[in-house]
Each structure stands twice: as C-alpha cells, then as structure tokens.
Structure 1
C-alpha cells in the first residue's frame, strides 16, 4: 500500500463517522527507515477531507455550521525544533484542543497563528501526532462541528489508534518506496552504457520497466559480437 492509499484509508475511517473535518500534515522530506535523528524542515498539508453538508441535528435546514465547514489548514508550517509543536509531535500522544497551551499549537497548523481564538473551541478538536517507530512523521487534526457532541476520552483512544495505524502504514510506504528506488537505480547502473556496432547489424535498446505495482522488469541485457559475423543477444 502506498502513501496516498494509507491516508485515504485514514480519512475513510475518520470522516464523517468520527469527525467532520480531517487535516493531515507530513514532514517534507519524510524520514526513511529507523533513523533516529529528529526530522526538520517543513510540515506540509498532504490530505484534507470534509464531511458533506448536512442538516443540523436541531432540525434546521442550513448546511454544516461555519465553525467546522470553513476551517482551513496551513499549506506549510515550519515548526521550531524546540518549539511546542515539534515537542508535541515527538511525544506521540493525541490531545484535545482545550488542553492548556495547545490552542497556539493548533492555530499554527490551521494557519491562524495570529488569532488562536479562531481554533474550534472546547473538545471539538483532537490533534493526533503521526509517530513512526522512532520519529515523528506528521500530524492529523480532527474537528467536529458544533451540531455534534464533543469528543470524549474514549474518542481520544480511537484517535490514538487511528494515528498509530496510519503512522505505521506511512513508515512502510516510505520504506518500500525508498527500497524500490534503490532497486531501480541498481538496475539502471547494470545496463551497458553503449552497444557494439557489428558489421551488417543495427542494434538499439530501450529501458522499459514494468508497472509500479509489479516492480519488476528492466532486466540486464547485452549484445556480444561473435566470430563469423554473428551476434549474441542477452
């Protein structure tokens, strides 16, 4: 399963049954393998999912309340290595939006750092770090509209399970993509830089790997001139 499929599964599980909005930020570049160095650089918005408009639970006819429907996320965030956001992601534990000191962190992810009051109030927001085997990989922000009940302590456990499953999937997808890239590079380096030009024969070649899912093809080849104006093709 690749990265996009992993995050699509997360959104399918979370929206709309569990939350009305989900934002997923990932470090760019993502750490590979079991390296222990803390990731640095930029958190980029990778995936956004929203529940379709619906009638309010109170019987109204309007769409989802603006507090959830209009919330946006920052396209890119550059957290300080020792700042509260980076520390929270390294800790790996999901938190409610009403936890002391969290509003400014969430405001940074939502792109409203200068206006923390724009963050959905109370326990209508959960920030769950995406933590791999040994490092932070990003975060998922889950938001409920005011027409739904607040998140509960049990919901925090569910968010933790979703984040853990997703982080492990991201870890595997990134590692697989890295190994596939190494294998592809190795195959290309094994190809001869040029083909011989025997008399009476015109040789041409092309590297054509198979599909991404099969990850095979592009086998090594060569052309060898033989006595008697013969050519061996490998």
Structure 2
C-alpha cells in the first residue's frame, strides 16, 4: 500500500514524454583506443550516434555539442601580459569596462586581472563576474573564430567540430564553473550545431577555403572585438 501511494504522488513531470524530445546535446566525444588516436572518426561517430538516436526518438531535429574551450584562459593571460608591456591604451576593454573593473578590483586592470584569472579568485565577486561577462564573451568569440594555426582554428576542439561540418553556434557564459572549467576557459563553453544536410558543404568550405560557418551571435561578438581592438 505504501509503494502504491508513493507512485501516485509522483509529479507528472517525472514521466518522460518521448514525443517532446526534439534536441540532442553531445557533451563529449573521445577515443578510448590508443591505436585510433589521430584517426578522423568524428563525422562517422556523430552520424552513427544521430542515426541511433533518431531510431529511439523520431522527433529529434536539433543536434549540437556542448563543448569545452581548452586554452582560452592561457591565451587571455598572454594577451593581458602583452597589453601591459606594449600598448599605451587598452584594446581589450572599453573605457567604461576599464572604469567599472578598476573600481571593483581596486587596482590596475591588466595586472589585477592576471592575478585573479590565474587563481580563479574573480568568481568570488558577483560584481566582477557581471562586469567581465561582456568583454570575456567577445574575447572568447575572437579566440574561437579569429585565432588561427595555419589558417585553421587554433582551438583544437573548434577545429575538430568545424572539420566535421558543424556551425560555431553559441558561446555560453559560466556554463562550467568547475575548477577545470574556470582554469581552462574562465567557465565558458560553446555549442557547435550540426545541421545534417549542411555538414558536407560546411566541412568542404572549412578544409578547402578555411571558411568558418558561425551564427549571428558569434559573428556579432567577433565584430564587437574588432571594433574595440586593433589586434
């Protein structure tokens, strides 16, 4: 009798409605076999997973990753260091951002931020987290979209997904506030969206002409960075 009562009291939201599941998010893709390292299996894995998921959830129509951004914090710290040494004016932050961040931290913006970002101390201040959202979002967009290695995306995760025909879709603020997320990317994560009919052309355009397909959000953030910086 007790068990029956418990079942009856379960809220309706506990029951999965399969016909309402419309999106699949890939959190991690990795190779467990060392002998397969370096083999391009990304497209195969993604298409295989999509096929299996659509069998189980026929209403699925949106496919995206939720990916880390390793190297962003390291790149940003290097940029802050170069700004300190070489530039008379600040090209990473607007005047109003400089003023607000300086008032919160109580010290020179570059030197103070280098210390706080290195130690992850900045997340302890709600005011500083809010003040850094806009500048770090556009800096991250540029890192992913504009920083290149031999013409391709410098970030290895971005390069992987772009090679497989994904769209650089959305940068997410404080999506990973774990120690690893803060240390690697200041807590930011990014979605790479897979439009199944477009993965082939997107991949060819990236591998052949080094063209990155990106959403309006990403391109808008990149444009903001370029407006404020001469880097």
TM-score range, shorter chain: under 0.3
Of the two, which has the highest radius of gyration?
Answer: 1
TM-score by length of structure 2 reads: 0.24
Select the structure that is richer in helix: 2
Select the structure that is richer in strand: 1
